[in-house]
Amino acid sequence: MITKDTIDKVFEFSRVEEVISDFIALKKTGANFKGLSPFTNEKTPSFVVSPSKQIWKDFSSGKGGNVIAFLMEHEQFNYPESIKYLANKYNIEIIETAESDENIQERNERESLFIINSFALSYFQEILSKKDKINKYLTDRGLSSSTIQNFSLGFSDDLQNEFYKSAIKHGYSDDYLEETGLVLSSNDKKIDRFRGRIIFPIKSIAGRIVGFGGRIVDSTKKLAKYINSPESKIYNKSKTLYGIYESKQFIVKDDTCLLVEGYMDVIQLHEHGIKNVLASSGTSLTKDQIILIKRLTSNIILLFDGDQAGLAASLRSIDIILEEGLNVKICSFPDGEDPDSFVNKNKKDYMLDYVKNESRDFIDFKLSVNTDFLNDEDKKVGLIKDILRSITLIPDSLKQEIYIKKLSSVLEIDEASLFRSFANIETSKSLKKSSRKLYKTKIYKVQSSPKENTSSYIYQLERQIISILLKYGAEEISYEDSRLSTDDKGENITTKKESTSKVFEKIYLDLQEDEIEFTHSPFKAIYNKLIQGFHNQSSLSIENFINDLDSSSSKIVSDILINDEKYQLHDWERKNIFVKKIGSELSQLVNETILNMRRFLIDKKIIELQEFQKEGGKNDVLEEVMSYYRLKKVLSAKLNRVV
């Protein structure tokens, strides 16, 4: 685990504008920088970077946060990978907490394998640069030099152990060379695994070389067309997808992943400008691979060959994708075609149109490849049950219901009968670990949880409080402190006193006195963290505060800080909310925001009591309502309002 001192040093030296400018062209506009969003296809720049606040905001996609959030969104790094990337950029030594000897040895062994693979990559690329015949072969396949370079293609001479001898000369050990799979041992002889093959480096999502694929060039030899590195401590086939490093940004941007079978499918699509593509590299699609894609998008289109093997691969993949909650469509190519040959023959625009028009959801696809059910009732029943079994794998109950209704409509089968069959299949799966709700004799429509109403009174007031704390929390204000009491006649009277306190103290004490809690849970978490931070420090560093937040809270805070300059509460006067703009006198801003919140909650309480009385509540409810009206009158007077 990376030490806190290292993380603090990374945040201290990292500059968000410097890091982001490595990936995006930024232009200085006033105190900020602007550029085109890397997450959408916008034409007018709406991506804003604030050097003073060390945050960024993409108005086209809604994303935002600190420098770590950018790397996690753009490069799909996890948190430790982001820290290590920044440490490497700023030449900061990474210090990790004490590890056991066993863990240190394991880490060193893994790093040794990465180092050997890196050496092998350079070796194979150098060999390719000298092979005119192999370069002509790649050019004839339609690949440009930039694509060859982008995918780091190489070549291994068809000689017994030239790579091995070079690696030994450079000081690499036999054991590690064999563990990577680059070298084989046979009768005390060392043999290069990939001799006579074009080399396809297989990269992790962070761009490190975990293994290699090799394609034979001389088709007259009776050898496997493709071979791969064996599994090792750094290469797990079931957790690896070819092209993920080169394609990840485009998958996020297009919010769709085109999933193909082979290396050349990926490379040819990139060559033609279609870059949101990954390959399972000839292995059956696994759950771990789908989880990897899920980090980038929730939409997958399977592009498989038009032969029986491609069809079988598509059918195998559907259920595992559905089970992970992703949306899947399937696009089959004409018999004898694959994505590589099809895009080469028809080019980009036709390819994109074909995928758009020919992609089908799993129900339409299964029906289209099982047409014999039309004349065989038993096969029809079996096909329906197969489709229903696929639907049971979907975690979202609402999606399940929609697909069942579609199946009913397409096949003209009674909806209730399908629901009963579906319930039986679900019940038979009860021994599975899934905690999804089982359908029994009746299916109930599942309503999605309501989205947060970001235009509601209380949402905007809570947001305003967070904004005030972020910008002015540690500042001192003087204000007129009013105390409410009752005279002998039961009338409310107020006594006034001049007081001075810090903004966060004023807000905290007022909300605590009225026992007011935030209704929007993310705001509540940020508020509590802010108050705690101000209590612990005389002045809170907002930059450090953001860095300590999780990615979701960091985005919210970044939104508020960057957005507030152009953010306004529109037409709130007619809706009974009067909030001063940020430029107003600070004590008045704080007071009126809290008074507005109190007044809103009083209005809400009055409505609740009136509803209670209508339903036959107690007679003394009217007196309580009147009491709240008197309190509301006092608050309205403070706000210079008429009740």
Report yes or no: 369 and 291 within 8 Å, Cβ to Cβ. no
pLDDT at residue 257, as a whole number: 96
Least confident of 92-96, 301-305, 326-330, 559-563: 559-563
Positive or negative, the CA dihedral 10, 12, 18, 19 is positive
Which residues are within 8 A (CB) of 415 and not within 5 positions of it... i.e. 6 or more apart? Answer: 404, 405, 408
pLDDT at residue 538, as a whole number: 61
Percent of the chain with pLDDT over 70: 83
Report yes or no: 110 and 28 within 8 Å, Cβ to Cβ. no
Kindly tell me if the per-residue pLDDT of 74 is higher than 70: yes
The beta strand positions in 113-208, using DSSP E, are 154-156, 183-186, 189-192, 197-203
pLDDT at residue 62, as a whole number: 85
pLDDT at residue 567, as a whole number: 43
- Average pLDDT for the chain: 82
Kindly tell me if the per-residue pLDDT of 572 is higher than 60: no
Q: Structure tokens of 377?
A: 């009732």
Alpha carbon of 210 to those of 106, 180, 229, 267, 378: distances in Å? 16, 9, 9, 18, 48
Query: Nearest CA to 272 among 345, 178, 216?
Result: 345
- What is the chain's length? 643
Positive or negative, the CA dihedral 535, 536, 539, 545 is negative
Least confident of 219-228, 353-362, 432-441: 432-441
pLDDT at residue 596, as a whole number: 83
Q: Structure tokens of 497?
A: 């006193």
Kindly tell me if the per-residue pLDDT of 436 is higher than 60: no
Percent of the chain with pLDDT over 90: 38
pLDDT band at 429 (very low <50, low <70, confident <90, very high): low
Q: Structure tokens of 499?
A: 């007081």
pTM > 0.85: yes or no = no
The angle, 0 to 180 degrees and rounded to 10, between the axes of the packed helices 586-614 and 621-638 is: 160
Alpha carbon of 2 to those of 78, 80, 99, 413: distances in Å? 13, 8, 11, 59
Instruction: Return the ∠ at Cα 204 (arms to 549 and 259), rounded to 5°.
Output: 100
- The arithmetic mean of pLDDT across residues 271-291, rounded, is 89
Report yes or no: 422 and 404 within 8 Å, Cβ to Cβ. yes
pLDDT band at 431 (very low <50, low <70, confident <90, very high): very low
Report yes or no: 2 and 94 within 8 Å, Cβ to Cβ. yes
160-216 per-position pLDDT tens digit? 999 999 999 999 999 999 999 999 998 889 999 999 999 999 998 888 999 999 999
Structural domains present in the chain:
4-89 (3.90.580.10), 101-235 (3.90.980.10), 244-369 (3.40.1360.10), 386-446 (no CATH), 457-638 (no CATH)
pLDDT at residue 485, as a whole number: 58
Q: In what order do the strands lie in the sheet with 55-58?
A: 27-29, 32-35, 47-50, 55-58, 64-65
Query: Nearest CA to 198 among 269, 127, 122?
Result: 127
